Structure 1
Amino acid sequence: METTPNLQVYDLGHLGLVASILDQIGLVQTVDRFVGPRPGEKVSTGMALKAAILNALGFVTSPLYLFGHFFQGKPTELLLGPGITPELLNDDRMGRMLDSLYAAGVTELFVEVAKSARRAFPFPVRALHVDSTSFHVHGVYGSGEEGQTDTGDEPLVIRLTHGYSRDHRPDLKQWVMNLICADTGGIPLLFAPGDGNQSDQEALVPLLARYRQSLELGEVVVLDGASYSQENLGALRGFSWVMRVPATLKEAKVLLREELPQEAWRPLLPGYRGLEVESEYGGVRQRWLLVESQERARMEEASLQQRIARAEGEARKVLGRLTARTFACEADARRALSEASGRLPSHRLVYLGVQEERQWERVGRPRKGERPLAVVYRLRARLEVDQEKLERARRGLGRFLLATNVLDREGLPPQEVLRRYKDQARTVERGFRFLKDPLFFAESTFLKRPERVMALGMVMALALLVYALGEWALRRRLWEAGSSLPDQKGRPTAKPTLRWVFQLFMWVRLVELGGRWFVLNLAPHHETAARLLGAGRYYLLE
């Protein structure tokens, strides 16, 4: 903040856009109503949470103990309310806010905020995507700090412990974030923290069932193959779902490797073809969609060639050991060759004959009429790629198997089954990549109390909600208005990322002079974005 006797300059940037979205979804009111009043607090829990999300989406990676530093030079009274100064937004207030969020129930509170967001921005939802990821933590956590599980329906405190690390840090303890996201923009509708060693197979379906009424689930639910089991299929009765079938299932293995006539395949999306079969796995009637991807097949062919090259070296060692051996008879040699050849994954050993060797009592030329002690045989063989094995391996390249219990092919045609499954990558998985980007959040959690880790997870998920919601709303309104914003090369685009829009606002400043507010460096494209996102009160000042 730069000051003169009558002039103050604040760094506003894109924070007005974030604050506007938070205002429109009623974040402060929803949280304060849910948490309840706290006598004597100058900054309510809802307002502190709004400040935390502004920090989270502020292009810095300040840990919580630097929370107050982020707001130095920022127009806090404009963004948060009269009388709210950076000094009030300190680490102590942040800690109390996290404690209040935990006490209120982070999942239940998140669901309420998401409902309010959906009312303020009525985005369409055709499918819900369910998935999880892990976040590692630093510090030493004893048994008392790892959390305790309640005997009721929901754990009181998550366990910070070792588990399968998506961050590739198995040396650190972790916690798991579960999200349910709309297919529209990947907007999260439910957040739930989980133990660091959570099993998706055991956790995600019960999570869906528990919050079914709260989410008003009527759309198709999309899950990954970890949730496909007989137990979960039974628990999902009443849901419409799409899942990937694990390739380890006996029935799936057969179908994935089966030689099928070309006329059985039907085109799906560009680069994909498929065919349907009926199944009653787990006692549930369902459609299985065998999908073959051209791009995936090319990638797996390259991987197959690499495996063949590696296998050739091992196969030559096998051949070398066989040719170094001696056998009592030709039949033994051929039998050993056949057994070794059958164990090779992609090669075969071709029999070329045997060479007879006589073993004498002593070294040197045998005497006339002397009989050998023994007659043995050495193999002669060559190594080659087994085309039959190779053809079987290639038969399954690029294939994967999807399943749905929606039996109406007109209501959910095969191409739509594939499309909804593929949307997983641009919805919930894209959200996880966003949360792990150090530009928005530090890559790991530094809080030691698991209760506060749970609450911080909620802050992270809310930041994702605001970002995804803002990006979807801006693109939708640009399209409706026939308008555009400049992209990184100055060309007009109606589908900018919100990150780029934030960068466009980098040099926007707020000036206070003589009791009046002025916004500096505001170009027409800034005004367009502010107007379409309903942020006029922060930028288009009268």
Structure 2
Amino acid sequence: IRLTHGYSRDHRPDLKQWVMNLVCADSGGIPLLYAPGDGNQSDRAELVWLVRRYRESLNLGEMVVLDGASYSGDNLRALEGFGWILRVPASLKEAQQLLQGEPPAGAWLPLLPGYRGLEVESEYGGVRQRWLLVESQERARLAEEELNRRVARTEGEAQKVLGRLTARTFACEADARGALAEASARLPFHRLVYLGVKEERKRGRVGRPRKGEPPRAVHYRLLARVEVDDGKLERARQGLGRFLLATNVLDALRLPAAEVLRRYKDQARTVERGFRFLKDPLFFASSTFLKRAERVMSLGMVMAVALLVYALGEWELRRKLLEGQASLPDQKGKPTQRPTLRWVFQLFLWVRLVVLEGRPRVLNLTPHHETAARLLGVERY
């Protein structure tokens, strides 16, 4: 791979970087295929290449789930032979009509709790597919709150625009109204309301003007106010909490709409969750203190194998907790059958092994420690 400059999410364009590509199983986030990538790789092309390698080497399944970076006509044709679920980028013209306009006539389908969906047909890129317009109540609520914050922030900017306009003088009322309309159209959520103009006359000399003396010049100043534009705000509210998913599985009985959403959400939880520690500053993982590309690739392989062991341990523990109808306490002390392995490690933080008079003793051991150890395959401790 090439350690080179690329787009930096951490706003450090001066540092070289490299990329970790990963294919994971949808159950447990178990990594199946890992490949390091160049620091400036394009996800649009590399992710499909990774799926091809997966098919050639493992071929363990027929369904792949990718994010919106891989959605293009060329990639859809390259994925022929696979069943796939992809997110449709909101930048596509066809997607914008669904996301921001009125949804097509049809009944909304209940999907997962808090989600509803509407199916439409598409042949984007020359590939027949089902598009699922998903609306999330929680995402809509959060987007509405963010929209209200943006409206409050932009009101100050609108007041500055109005201040610059009222500080200007215009040759006539028509010029003033034209400048006001032009500035108002550029505001995202507000409008400038015309209240009139104030006439200013300039004389040729200082003092009281003589009777009938004409002014040397006449200028006009705007009188206006700022208010929220309900039309702009309503257009901004359209499509809040919506996103588009696509699949080439045309049989809704084989792959129902609810299953499309569930698999897509599992992809976000499994692949991203595995290496989320990379963003933790305590790990210093953002800085790889290696120069040679071969050593960087070796480090990535060690990290992928470590993730494999971690994911297998977590998956096995959760499976046995469910089969045995057992549970472990979560961070709030409530029973759970889906603990993370990291939390299980923390549960054992204060367990100590001491040797007294030549005999080993385990201190601070509780029943939930014994349950976790037994389910992880430790028969004697």
Same fold (TM over 0.5): yes
Q: Which of these residues, 195, 212, 215, is aligned with residue 55 of structure 2? A: 212
**Does the C-alpha gap of structure 1 residues 379 and 491 become closer, same or farther in structure 2, counting only changes over 3 Å?**
closer
Is the partner of 1:335 in helix, strand or coil?
helix
Could you tell me how far apart the structure 2 residues matched to 1:188 and 1:480 are?
24
1:455 alignment counterpart: 298
Whether 1:497 aligns to 2:346 is no
CA RMSD for the aligned pairs? 2.9
**Does the C-alpha gap of structure 1 residues 466 and 439 become closer, same or farther in structure 2, counting only changes over 3 Å?**
farther
Deviations 1:359-407 (A, max 9, x none): 3322332212222233333222221111000000011222222111111
Letter of the 2:295 partner, please give it: R
1:329 alignment counterpart: 172
Is the partner of 2:81 in helix, strand or coil?
coil
| Per-residue deviation, 1:167 | 5.2
Could you tell me how far apart the structure 1 residues matched to 2:246 and 2:221 are?
54
Could you tell me how far apart the structure 1 residues matched to 2:326 and 2:263 are?
29
| Per-residue deviation, 1:358 | 2.9
Letter of the 2:8 partner, please give it: S
In structure 2, list runs of 5 or more residues that go unmatched: none
| Per-residue deviation, 1:221 | 1.0
2:320 alignment counterpart: 477
Could you tell me how far apart the structure 2 residues matched to 1:210 and 1:160 are?
22
**Does the C-alpha gap of structure 1 residues 351 and 525 become closer, same or farther in structure 2, counting only changes over 3 Å?**
closer
1:90-239 correspondence to structure 2 within 5 Å:
158-166=1-9, 169-239=12-82
Contact preservation (8 Å) 1:434, 1:464: no
| Per-residue deviation, 1:200 | 0.8
Whether 1:397 aligns to 2:240 is yes
1:200-279 correspondence to structure 2 within 5 Å:
200-260=43-103, 264-279=107-122
Could you tell me how far apart the structure 1 residues matched to 2:346 and 2:171 are?
80
Could you tell me how far apart the structure 2 residues matched to 1:486 and 1:346 are?
48
**Does the C-alpha gap of structure 1 residues 494 and 268 become closer, same or farther in structure 2, counting only changes over 3 Å?**
closer
**Does the C-alpha gap of structure 1 residues 344 and 441 become closer, same or farther in structure 2, counting only changes over 3 Å?**
closer
| Per-residue deviation, 1:189 | 0.6
1:344 alignment counterpart: 187
Contact preservation (8 Å) 1:286, 1:405: yes
Deviations 1:234-293 (A, max 9, x none): 211121111111111122222211034897433322222222222111111112222222
Q: Which of these residues, 222, 230, 234, is aligned with residue 379 of structure 1? A: 222
Could you tell me how far apart the structure 2 residues matched to 1:416 and 1:243 are?
13
Could you tell me how far apart the structure 1 residues matched to 2:171 and 2:10 are?
57
Is the partner of 1:232 in helix, strand or coil?
helix
Could you tell me how far apart the structure 1 residues matched to 2:172 and 2:282 are?
71
**Does the C-alpha gap of structure 1 residues 416 and 164 become closer, same or farther in structure 2, counting only changes over 3 Å?**
same
2:161 alignment counterpart: 318
Could you tell me how far apart the structure 1 residues matched to 2:221 and 2:280 are?
62
**Does the C-alpha gap of structure 1 residues 494 and 442 become closer, same or farther in structure 2, counting only changes over 3 Å?**
same
Could you tell me how far apart the structure 2 residues matched to 1:280 and 1:469 are?
39
| Per-residue deviation, 1:443 | 5.1
Letter of the 1:401 partner, please give it: L
Deviations 1:68-127 (A, max 9, x none): xxxxxxxxxxxxxxxxxxxxxxxxxxxxxxxxxxxxxxxxxxxxxxxxxxxxxxxxxxxx
Contact preservation (8 Å) 1:327, 1:376: yes
1:368 alignment counterpart: 211
Letter of the 1:254 partner, please give it: Q
| Per-residue deviation, 1:308 | 1.6
Whether 1:421 aligns to 2:264 is yes
Could you tell me how far apart the structure 2 residues matched to 1:404 and 1:483 are?
37
Is the partner of 2:117 in helix, strand or coil?
strand
Is the partner of 2:212 in helix, strand or coil?
coil
Contact preservation (8 Å) 2:318, 2:339: yes
1:14-53 correspondence to structure 2 within 5 Å:
none
Contact preservation (8 Å) 1:435, 1:464: no
Could you tell me how far apart the structure 2 residues matched to 1:411 and 1:520 are?
53
Letter of the 2:59 partner, please give it: E
Whether 1:433 aligns to 2:276 is yes
* Residue identity (%): 77
Contact preservation (8 Å) 1:406, 1:412: yes
Is the partner of 1:174 in helix, strand or coil?
coil
**Does the C-alpha gap of structure 1 residues 350 and 263 become closer, same or farther in structure 2, counting only changes over 3 Å?**
farther
**Does the C-alpha gap of structure 1 residues 358 and 404 become closer, same or farther in structure 2, counting only changes over 3 Å?**
same
Deviations 1:471-529 (A, max 9, x none): 11111112212334455676654333222333444535497x99xx9785576655544
Contact preservation (8 Å) 2:133, 2:244: yes
Could you tell me how far apart the structure 2 residues matched to 1:160 and 1:252 are?
36
Whether 1:298 aligns to 2:141 is yes
| Per-residue deviation, 1:346 | 1.0
**Does the C-alpha gap of structure 1 residues 490 and 449 become closer, same or farther in structure 2, counting only changes over 3 Å?**
same
Contact preservation (8 Å) 1:276, 1:288: yes
Is the partner of 1:211 in helix, strand or coil?
helix
1:20 alignment counterpart: none
Contact preservation (8 Å) 2:106, 2:118: no
Is the partner of 1:253 in helix, strand or coil?
helix
